[in-house]
Amino acid sequence: MQTVLIELPDNIFSALRKPPNEFVKEMRIAAAVKWYELGQISQEKAAEKAAEIADCSRSEFIDALSRYRVDFMQYTSEDLEEEIRQFV
């Protein structure tokens, strides 16, 4: 596992009313949700990969999607056309 050092101002934690460990957890979730929403995480097993980035279970990640108002189903028009072709 890689370690990434991110420097943040000391007052950021009190401003957000979160201790550093909770802030980091939420930051990982927010990043994973956004990358999932933008399709930057491969669509094959995307929720599992995003959950890994967020350091949570798949079901916790799906709950986070709901909190952030991001649809779990991330289909492009091309994805939808491919799905339809498979069933026709």
pLDDT of amino acid 42: 65
Q: What is the CA radius of gyration of the chain?
A: 16
| Tens digits of residue pLDDT in 41-87 | 866 677 888 889 999 998 899 899 999 999 887 767 777 788 788 88
Q: Which residue has the tokens 């491969």?
A: 42
Give the separation between CA 56 and CA 31, rounded to whole angstroms. Answer: 13
Bigger pLDDT: 62 vs 13: 62
Contact assessment for residue 51 and residue 60, using Cβ atoms and an 8 Å cutoff: yes
Domain boundaries, the chain: 18-87
